[in-house]
Amino acid sequence: MEEQTLEQKVKSILEQIRPYLRQDGGDVEFVEMTADNVVKVRLRGACGSCPHATMTLKQGIEAAMIKALPEVKAVESV
């Protein structure tokens, strides 16, 4: 089996998180992976304007991402 790149693994994690965001009318879009392993995402739908978006990003998406992929340094919204 072909080895997945870190970017492919990140996108896979986002796909697993996406249904939870959609329950609240939101979504997340992968934007880029920086050379120093920071994942850039765009929160969409209700998540784009939600006052809890920062908490969702840091305690939800970032926490899940780093737990699954410790080489990821951070997840940031753009």
The string of pLDDT tens digits covering residues 61-75 is: 999 999 999 999 999
Q: Where are the domains of the chain?
A: 27-78
The string of pLDDT tens digits covering residues 2-19 is: 578 999 999 999 999 999
Q: What is the mean pLDDT of residues 50-69?
A: 90
Question: What's the CATH architecture for 27-78?
Answer: 2-Layer Sandwich (3.30)
pLDDT value for 2 = 58
**HEC letters along the chain:** CCCCCHHHHHHHHHHHHHHHHHHCCEEEEEEEECCCCEEEEEEEEHHHHCCCHHHHHHHHHHHHHHHHCCCCCEEEEC
* pTM exceeds 0.75: yes
The string of pLDDT tens digits covering residues 16-39 is: 999 989 998 999 999 999 999 999
